[in-house]
Each structure stands twice: as C-alpha cells, then as structure tokens.
Amino acid sequence: MNSNIELVKSTLKYTYGLVPIIAGLDKFTNLLTDWSQYVPAGLLDIIPMEASVFMIIIGIIEITAGILVLLKPKIGALVVMGWLSAIAIVLVLSGNYVDVAIRDLVMAIGAFSLAKLHGMSSV
C-alpha cells in the first residue's frame, strides 16, 4: 500500500510541478495557444499594460509555482490549488471559457489532494 501512495504522490508532484512550468514558459512563446485571449476584457481596462505583457507576468508566477511544487510539494500544491481556483473564478465571472474554468477547478482538487498526501505521516 505504501508504494502505491508514494507512486501517486510522485505522479502528482511531477504533474503539478512540470505542467505550470511548461504553461508558464509558453506564455513567452504562445506555441500552445494565444494566452492573451484568456484575459477578460474588463481586466484589460484596469491593468496598465498589454495583455501579452500581463501574460508574461502570469508565466513567471506559474513557473515559480511549479518550481515550488517540485521543491516543497505540500506548500507548492496549495499555491497551485489557489492559483487554479483564482483563474477559474476570473473565467466564470467573465462568462467566457467556462469549460476551462471547470477543468481548472478539477485540477485544483488534484493539487489539494497532493498537498493532503504530503501532509500525511507515514502510512
């Protein structure tokens, strides 16, 4: 049983560590998608920068969160959970990309699970 728990912890750790790093790096290249399309128009009205610059800042945050998961999984997973939840809330409030918001909430639950697994004493 312990080996299964360790396998799940490791799988989640690398998933929630590497995916934010990859997505964050892609904010600089837009190879996967044009990330600026996800910035709600209302937010663009209040931030003092172009959407592409804003997304680069987001990319730096995501890269940092991914590294934190790899180095300190319990804390990093909670940061990623909060980050994904915040993205989902912004998307739902904007009325756009609700499908992405739902996916991000499901991913946030996985990140929460990782944090809880790392909070367990030896099983």
pLDDT tens track for 20-63: 999 999 999 999 999 999 888 888 889 899 999 999 999 999 99
* 70-119 pLDDT, tens digit each: 999 999 999 999 999 999 999 999 999 999 999 999 999 999 999 999 98
Task: Give the distance from CA 89 to its chain's centroid.
Answer: 13
Range of the domain at 69: 2-119
pLDDT at position 123:
43
Q: Average model confidence (pLDDT) for the chain?
A: 93
pLDDT at position 2:
86
Q: How far apart are the first and last CA of the chain?
A: 8
Q: How many domains does the chain have?
A: 1
Residue 14 Rama label (left phi>0; alpha psi -120 to 50; beta): alpha
Closest CA to 111 of 80, 85, 83: 80
What is the DSSP-derived secondary structure letter of residue 48?
S
- Does residue 121 carry a pLDDT above 50? yes
CB crowding 96-105: b at 16 or more within 10 Å, else e: bbeeebeebb
Closest CA to 92 of 104, 76, 107, 77: 104
pLDDT at position 1:
63
pTM recorded for the entire structure: 0.89
pLDDT at position 66:
98
HSE-CB for 71 with a 13 A CA cutoff: 8
